[in-house]
Chain A
Amino acid sequence: MTRKLFPLLLLAALGASCTHLASVSVTSIPANRGQHVSAERYKFLFLLLNFNNDFVQEMERDLAAKCPKGKVEGIVTKLENITYFPIIAHAYNVTADGYCVAR
């Protein structure tokens, strides 16, 4: 029973993606927290091959576009390393969540 169960458990575990936090930063949080805005960039990596990090370029513009007449403050920025299957399938996920406040 254990012989059959262990590979199944291992396969199930490998099949579930693992997410780890590579870096995090939080900027000063404003008093006015009414409007929440967020931006996200994702990059899939096959065989851990990554030739550039252009996918995060100008991500701040995505946030600014959601807050054209204000300022985005209280931004939490996370870089996550996602493992779908070791070595073969990985991904980077960068998220930025903040509040849009009036200038």
Chain B
Amino acid sequence: MQLFRPIAHCALLGLLSGCAFLHRYQLQSVDGRIQQSSTRRFEFLVSQTGIDLVEGAKWVSVIARDARTQNNANDAATIIALFQMGPRTGNPVYSTRFADELGQKLHHMCKNNEITGLTFTRETNKYPVVSGELVKVAGYCLSSAAPAKRKP
């Protein structure tokens, strides 16, 4: 019975943590040839684990039974928030190099073929405390055999 309340709090926090968030969406030029059967659609993503230490400290203060631990956890959350100020998109990550390979991956998806209809989305898949910070890329490879449409 003593465990019921913190477990219930945890379950509620878990449910209310949310799931997927869309932060940015960019669409580049679209060639009408994507409707042809020789066109191939591709999609890939690059990702990094995001960690919300403030949320983690708040979880500790919820789960903790004694007031001292709760106070310490709340103090830790305040200190962390002071040391992680700035504009946020999703959760903080500890490496910003995960998207550096985007250009290379894009090239390998569509070697020697023209790329069109590129979309870039910045998403977050959120879980309690941790999250997946994603950059998803999708587009179309125009086959070299697909002729460009000419105006009559």
Contacts and interface: CB of A to CB of B under 8 A. Distances in A.
B26 A25 contact: yes
A20 B87 contact: yes
Nearest to B29: A27
B24 interface: yes
Interface of A: 20, 23, 25
Contacts of B26: 25
- Determine the main DSSP class of A at the interface with B: strand
A23 B87 contact: no
Interface residues of B, number: 3
Contacts of A23: 24
Nearest to A81: B87
- Determine the main DSSP class of B at the interface with A: strand
Nearest to B122: A23
Nearest to A27: B28
Interface of B: 24, 26, 87
3 contacts: A20-B87, A23-B24, A25-B26
Nearest to B120: A25
Nearest to B23: A23
B139 to A, nearest CB: 15
Nearest to B24: A23
A3 B56 CA distance: 38
B31 to A, nearest CB: 15
A101 to B, nearest CB: 16
Contacts of B87: 20
Contacts of A25: 26
A48 to B, nearest CB: 16
Nearest to A22: B87
Nearest to B87: A20
A25 B29 CA distance: 14
A79 to B, nearest CB: 10
Contacts of B24: 23
